[in-house]
Amino acid sequence: NYQAAAAGLPAQAEREMVFDAESATLHTTAAMLVPHFHDGQEPRAAHTDHLIELLRDAAHHSLNARRALTLTARVAASLDKTDLRVMLTEANLRALVRLCGASELFGEMLASNPTLIETLTIEHERIADRDYRALLRAAIDREKNYGAELAALRRTWMRLLVERGARDAVGELSLSESNEFQTALATASINAALLIARRELARRFGQLAAGPRLAVFGLGRLGSGGMDYGSDLDLVLVYDPLVPTPIAGLTHEEAYARLAELMTTALSSMTREGHLYRVDLRLRPDGKNGPLARGAQSFLDYFRSDSAQIWEWLAYVKLRATGGDLELGRMIEREVRRLIHERARHIDKEELRNETRRVRERLERERAARPARATDIKFGAGGMLDVYFAARYLQLRDDVRDDEDAGRSTFATLTRLHAAGSLNDEDQRALSDGYACLRALDHSLRLIAGRSSHLPAAPDHPLLRDLARRNNYDSADALTHALSTHMKEIRAAYDRITGGDC
C-alpha cells in the first residue's frame, strides 16, 4: 500500500488496512479496471489510487455501499477475464457503482455483459423516444438462422432494458414511466419473436402457402399496461380461420401450434445471451387442454357460451391486443370485452360476488407467503390482488367499461369506478393510496433484489432498510408500519365491496 508506506504507518496498521475487507475489495477492483482507463501517459499506480478513491466515494453515495462494491467487483472481474475493450470514464464508472448499489438485478446483468457499461451515460434525449420495434427488427434482419436471430434479439433487448432501467434504478424515472417503457419493450419483443417464428417456419416447411394471420393478446400486467422487471407475459393467441393455413398439408390448428411454439421459444428459451420473459399460455380457453392458438370464431363462441367461467371474465376484462395482426386483434378484443360485460349484466350478483371471493381466497390460501411474519404484498391479505379483484368485480357488477383514452391501469380503473359511483370516497382512497404503496414497494423489490412480492420477515433485514430509503421512509420501522396500515385498510375496503366480514 503506497499511501500507507509513504505516511510511515506502523506495519501492523498497514496490515490491518490491507486486510480490511472493503479496502481489499477496492484495491482488487481498481487494479482490474485500470487497463480500461490507462492512457499510456500516467503511471498505472497513480491511476489505481485515483480509482480507489473514486470507487469508495461513489459506493458511499449509493443506496447500499456493500452491494455497490461487491457487484462492481464482479463486473471488474468479468472485464478482467475477457479481451473486450470497454472505455471507462469517471462518469460511467460512477454511474456503474451507483447502479450496482441500487440494483442487484442490473448489477448482475452488467457482470454477465460488461460492455453494457457504455449505455449508462447515454444522453436522456437519445433514449427517450426509441422505436423499440424498429431496433429489434433491425437486429434480427442482419441474421440468417434461428439461433443467430435469438442471440441478436437478446443482445439488443438487454441493451435497451439496461440503458433505460439504469435510470429507473437510481430514481430518474417515475413508476408510471417505467411501466410504460417496459410494456412498450415487451410489446416490441412479442412482435420481434413472431417475426422470428414466421421466418423459421418458412425455413422448416418451405415457402408458406399463406401469410399467417395471428393476433397476440396480453392479460395481466401486459394487458393493463403495467409491465415491470421480471413480469411474466400472459399471452393468448388467436388466428383467422378464413385465411388458408400457412403450411400446406397441416390444419390451421397444427400450423399455428408450430408458430406459437417457435414464438414462445424466441421469447422464453434460455441461451448463452439469457432469456427475455417467462411466457404463460395457461389462461387460454380450456387451459392446458386447449390448443395453443385458437380460431377467432371458436374463441368468440367460447365467451358466448357457458364454457367461460367467472374467473375468466375477471381476467379477460383487461384483454388487450398487443402483437401480430392488430386489425384482427382489436376487433376480437372489443367483442370479447363486450360479451363479458353483457353476460355479467345478466348473472345473479350474488353468484358474481361469491365466485370473486372464492377465487381470491383460493389464491391467498395457495400462494401467499408461508414463513412466520413474512409479508406477501401480492397474494397476502390486503395485498395487490385484493385491489385487482375488488376493481374488476365492480367493473362487472356495475358494467363500468374501460375507457381506451384514459388507460386500463388499476389506478385509472379505480378513478373510473369512483366517478361512476361504484366506489365511495373512503374505499377509493384506501384502495388507491394502498395500491400506490404496494406497487412502489413491489417495483423497488424487483429493482433491488430481482424478486417481487415477498418482504423479508426479519425487521432488521438490510433489504428493508434499502426499501425504506428508496421510498423516502425515515426507517424500516416506518415503512413496515405504513405498509401494515395500508394493507389493513385495503382488506377492509375489499371486504366492504365484496360483502365479506370485516
Q: What is the 3-state secondary structure (H, E, C) of 341-379?
A: HHHHHHCCHHHHHHHHHHHHHHHHHHHCCCCCCCEECCC
| Domain with 39 in it | 1-121
Write the CB contacts of 447 (distance below 8 Å, at least 6 apart in sequence).
102, 103, 105, 106, 165, 168, 169, 229
| CA dist list (Å): 393 to 195, 196, 292, 411 | 37, 39, 28, 15
Predicted confidence band at 362 (pLDDT cuts at 50, 70, 90)?
very high
Question: What is residue 60's predicted lDDT score, i.e. its pLDDT?
Answer: 94
> Does residue 338 fall inside a structural domain?
yes
Distances from the Cα of 53 to the Cαs of 28, 87, 271, 299, in angstroms?
A: 13, 19, 38, 63
Give the position of cell 455497490: 68
Residues 280 and 302: their CA atoms lie apart, in Å, by 20
| CA nearest neighbour of 318 among 398, 226, 382 | 226
Percentage above 90 pLDDT, the chain: 77
pLDDT at 367: 79
Domain co-membership, 461 together with 312: no
Q: Is 70 exceeded by the pLDDT of residue 12?
A: no
Check residue 127 and give its pLDDT: 85
Question: Across the strands, what pairs with 274?
Answer: 271
- Are 335 and 381 found together in one domain? no
Q: Which three cell numbers stand for residue 107?
A: 448489477
In total, the chain counts a number of residues equal to 502
Residue 194 and residue 60 share a domain? no
Percent of the chain residues past pLDDT 70, beyond the cut: 92
| 264 shares its domain with 287 | yes
Q: What's the pLDDT band for 209 if we cut at 50, 70, 90?
A: confident
Rounded distance, CA 59 to CA 51, Å? 12
Kindly state whether residues 104 and 164 are assigned to the same domain.
no
Residue 352 lies in a domain: no
**Mean pLDDT for the stretch of residues 390-412:** 91
* Residue 423 covered by a domain: yes
Q: What share of the chain is helix, strand, coil (3-state, %, to 5)?
A: 65, 5, 30
d(CA 184, CA 132): 7
Grid cell 411466457 in the structure block, residue:
279
Q: Is residue 360 part of a domain?
A: no
Q: Which three cell numbers stand for residue 416?
A: 373510473
CATH of the domain at 259: 3.30.460.10
Q: Are residues 84 and 136 in the same domain?
A: no
| Euclidean distance between CA atoms 484 and 459, whole angstroms | 13
Question: What local confidence, expressed as pLDDT, does residue 83 receive?
Answer: 82
Helix (H) or strand (E) holding 118: none
Whether 337 shows a pLDDT value over 70: the answer reads: yes
Q: Could you tell me if residue 137 is inside a domain?
A: yes
C-alpha cell at 377: 404484498
Count of structural domains, the chain: 3
Radius of gyration for the alpha carbons in the chain, expressed in angstroms and rounded: 26
Task: Answer with the residue of higher pLDDT: 191 or 367.
Answer: 191
Q: Are residues 334 and 474 in the same domain?
A: no
Q: Over the stretch 485-494, which tens digit does the pLDDT of each residue have?
A: 999 999 999 9
Q: Is residue 245 part of a domain?
A: yes
Q: What is the pLDDT of residue 9?
A: 45
Q: pLDDT tens for residues 156-201? A: 999 999 999 999 998 999 999 999 999 999 999 999 999 999 999 9
pLDDT-derived band of residue 86, with 50, 70 and 90 as boundaries? confident
Is residue 351 assigned to a domain?
Answer: no
Higher pLDDT, 227 or 45: 227
Q: Which of 92, 121, 150 is the last residue of a domain?
A: 121
Indicate whether 326 pLDDT > 70: yes
Residues 120 and 168 sit within 8 Å (Cβ to Cβ): no
Residues 345-359 have pLDDT tens digits of 999 999 999 999 999
Claim to verify: residue 169 and residue 66 sit in the same structural domain: no
Residue 239 belongs to what H/E stretch? Answer: strand 233-239
Contact 189, 216 (CB under 8 A): no
pLDDT for 500: 63
Domain boundary among 90, 121, 152: 121
Task: Identify which has the larger pLDDT, 10 or 419.
Answer: 419
Residues 25 and 107 in one domain: yes
Write out pLDDT tens, residues 18-74.
447 788 889 999 999 988 875 555 666 668 888 999 999 999 999 999 999 999 999
Bridge partners, residue 237, by sequence: 216, 293
Does residue 135 register a pLDDT over 80?
A: yes
- 170, three cell numbers: 437510481
**447 and 342 share a domain?**
no
Q: Is 357 part of any domain?
A: no
Q: Residues 102, 174: one domain?
A: no
Q: Are residues 319 and 374 in the same domain?
A: no
Q: Is the pLDDT of residue 14 over 50?
A: no
442-457 pLDDT per residue, tens? 999 999 998 878 898 8
Mean pLDDT across 426-440? 97
Specify the CATH number for the domain of residue 491.
1.20.120.330
